Amino acid sequence: MGEAARLYWRLVGARVRSQLEYRTSFLLDLVGMFLFSFLDFVEVLIIFHNVPRLAGWSVAEVSFLYATSSPSFAFADLVFGHLDHFGESIRDGSFDLVLIRPRGTLFQIATADFQLRRLGKALNGVVILAYALAVLEIGWTPGKVAVLLMMIVAGAVIFCAVWVFMICIVFWSVEGKETANAFTYGGKFLTQFPITIYDQWLRRFLAYVVPMAFVCFFPALYLLDKPDPLGLPPWVRFASPAVALAAAGCAGMMWRLAVRHYRSAGG
């Protein structure tokens, strides 16, 4: 484990160094990412320009949801975002190379194309979190600080798990990027709003199948002292880490299953 971590840093570090070589270009990319991910938030603002509250949530509260899901998503995107292009290595058979190297397959894929500029997506989350925290009056206790940190970490793990799980489609169908994106980017979009605004089936799907509701909705209920509109028991609000671990386990198993299914294109 320790050795894997060291190796990860070395491989990713090398990528980062090469990307920082062209500094202006890198900064432009970073700013571009920052502005582009800011558009989602502009949408939130446009919506609240038309109504004062959405399903009983104020603009500051929805901003809080946005701001806590954003860094989680950005982290997952940083670590696994390039999996979107993974289908190509299945098609042209270059995944063979990965199989003959003496390291975990997922580990190699994760280090294959690390893009530091994706950090731009996390930046806007931090900015908006600062805004939301300044406006909201949360009675801070050590417990709440812990839950805030926990939800961001657990959320990141859940997003990572969904990313890995969904991209496994490409082992069977080669073209799977769009479907996977519907769950990763789409999931990110869904987490930005209180889940009570969705249809019942979508709400259940989010809470029980793809555990997006655990990224920030349930913990946020606790932090903002809001009643649970679904009437679930209170421990659900603290269940995110357990859910995240379970999701990661599922994703890991799915990946193994998928790799075993792989047949080379003979490249």
Residues in contact with another protein by CB under 8 A are: 24-25, 28-29, 31-32, 35-36, 39, 42-43, 46-47, 49-51, 53-55, 186, 189-190, 193, 197-199, 202
For residues 222 and 225, give the distance between their C-alpha atoms in angstroms, rounded to a whole number.
5
Residues with Cβ within 8 Å of 63's Cβ and at least 6 positions away in sequence, in order, are 41, 44, 128, 131, 132, 135
Complex with another protein: residue 43 or 113, whichever CB lies closer: 43
Q: Which is nearer to another protein, 40 or 96 (CB)?
A: 40
Q: Which is nearer to another protein, 70 or 111 (CB)?
A: 70
Q: CA geometry: angle at 145 spanning 139 and 147, to 5°?
A: 110
The most distant pair of C-alpha atoms in the chain lies apart, rounded to whole Å, by 61
Shortest distance in whole angstroms from residue 22 CB to another protein: 8
Least distance CB 129 / another protein (angstroms):
21
Shortest CB 207 distance to another protein, Å: 15
Hey, which bits of the chain come out as E strands? none
Nearer to another protein, 25 or 264 (CB): 25
Nearest to 71 by CA among 9, 7, 129, 11: 129
Minimum Å gap between C-beta 263 and another protein is 28
